[in-house]
Copies of this chain bind each other. A is one copy, B any other.
Amino acid sequence: MEGRPPGRPQFGTRRIASLFFIPVMAYLNENYLKLQAGYLFPEIARRVGEFCEAHPEAAKRLIRCGIGDVTEPLPQAAVEAMKRAVDELGVRETFRGYGHEQGYEFLRSKIAQINYCERGVEIAAAEIFLSDGSKCDCGYILDVLGDQNKIAIPDPVYPVYVDTNVMAGHTGQAKSDGSYEGIIYLPCRAENDFVPKPPNEHVDIIYLCFPNNPTGAVASREQLTRWVEYAREHEAIVLFDAAYEAYISEPEIPHSIFEIPGARECAVELRSFSKTGGFTGVRCGFTVMPESLLARTENGRHLPLHPLWQRRWSTKANSVSYPVQRGAEALYSAEGRKQVRALVDHYMGNAGILAEAAKKIGLEVFGGRNAPYIWVKTPAGLTSWQMFDRLLNEINVVITPGSGFGSNGEGYIRVSAFNSRENAEEVARRLQSLT
């Protein structure tokens, strides 16, 4: 290399930093090395890729009920609003640069009003923080929480809750069953209707997701009340993922943790436009961070988390793309609400068709009534991945193996209802040919 003085060590060698050989090189975050090799979905993609290469003919009739990704077009209300917003940015008089770091008030106040106040839940626009998606918020929220917290996570579960905690150094190494030391797992099984009870021990942070991904289970008011009581007794925080709340069809099921008295003192809620407005590629979600939620310092001061969360956003981000915020706002218009309803009804129609078909061939089926996922017990003796391979090979349908969501998911598969009606009906027909 030009300009390198003679005698300088080459890259990759150790150098004498003082009197001793001290390895001096920038450190990486070693917690990442604890992560299991495949995030679930890349592994599915790998197997599907192999299958398609080996069977190019069968590959043509492949139907994907794997990743929970929407398939139907964006509601027209959102399309029009986003295009209008882009046009605004193309004209000097209506151009906008940086927006409010928490998200524009026009969207936050709609959310507070329609998602919360109209359901009798007291949430202010100042407590809403827009983001580029619920998946992102799952990681971001750890920014403001202490590393000392004891974390409880359901099993099976959306892998992001676990993996972000591993990355943040909140766990030990992975065990042979894929679970991590240091996390308290809350088993979700048929015996407890896939809704875990609060543990007998103390935990500080609890992840809950209802309607649930992957099991499709919902928690009753009574069950959520028990969690809020636990959290208040233990001064713990519930991170409540309500990304699928729009899919609730039974009127007595709470849509928000904040419908439970006392939750404003112990919960954060995560929501998304991905599965309501079909925003998986558009990217927008939000957290509700109540101003009344406290957490503690090492020396026992109790402080609100809201200012920390606000600081996180003002320092680390510039909020969500303006046209996207206008698109999300449009989902709250009269037209937009109708179009979202139609999307949800479409996917729930698929869920009904898939659940019916699975039952017909004698499979035990859970979920699918208040959630766009059905959770199906594999026939006796088959593991989740064996069932995955069987469905892929025999009827060319891709599902998600339950064991990918945690050891208590073994013996189940998740079938996603995010598809065209045609595909859902075709999967239903093919399932019959399995018998």
Query: A residues engaging B (CB < 8 A)?
Result: 1-4, 8-9, 11-12, 15, 17, 23-30, 32-33, 35, 39, 42, 67, 69-74, 76, 79, 82-83, 86-87, 89-92, 95-99, 132-133, 135-136, 138-139, 143-149, 159-160, 163-164, 167, 202, 204-205, 222, 225-226, 229, 232-237, 261-262, 265-266, 278, 280-283, 294-298, 300, 302-303, 305, 308, 311-312, 314-324, 327, 420
Contact = CB atoms under 8 A, between A and B. Distances in A.
Contact of A143 (B29, B225, B297): B29
A25 B95 contact: no
A86 B79 contact: yes
Contacts of A25: 204, 235-236, 294-296, 302
Given A87-B83, A97-B71, A305-B28, A318 B135 contact: yes
Contacts of A99: 281
A321 B145 contact: no
Given A26-B295, A282-B322, A316-B135, A95 B79 contact: no
A281 to B, nearest CB: 4
Nearest to A94: B73
A135 B317 contact: yes
Contacts of A261: 1-2
Nearest to A146: B27
28 contacts: A2-B225, A3-B222, A3-B226, A4-B229, A11-B232, A11-B235, A23-B296, A26-B295, A27-B148, A28-B297, A28-B305, A29-B143, A29-B146, A32-B144, A32-B311, A73-B91, A73-B95, A74-B89, A79-B89, A82-B82, A83-B86, A86-B323, A89-B281, A98-B281, A132-B132, A160-B315, A283-B319, A321-B321
A200 to B, nearest CB: 13
Contacts of A24: 202, 204, 234-235
Contact of A311 (B39, B73, B294): B39
A237 B35 CA distance: 24
B302 A12 contact: yes
Nearest to A222: B3
A308 B35 CA distance: 10
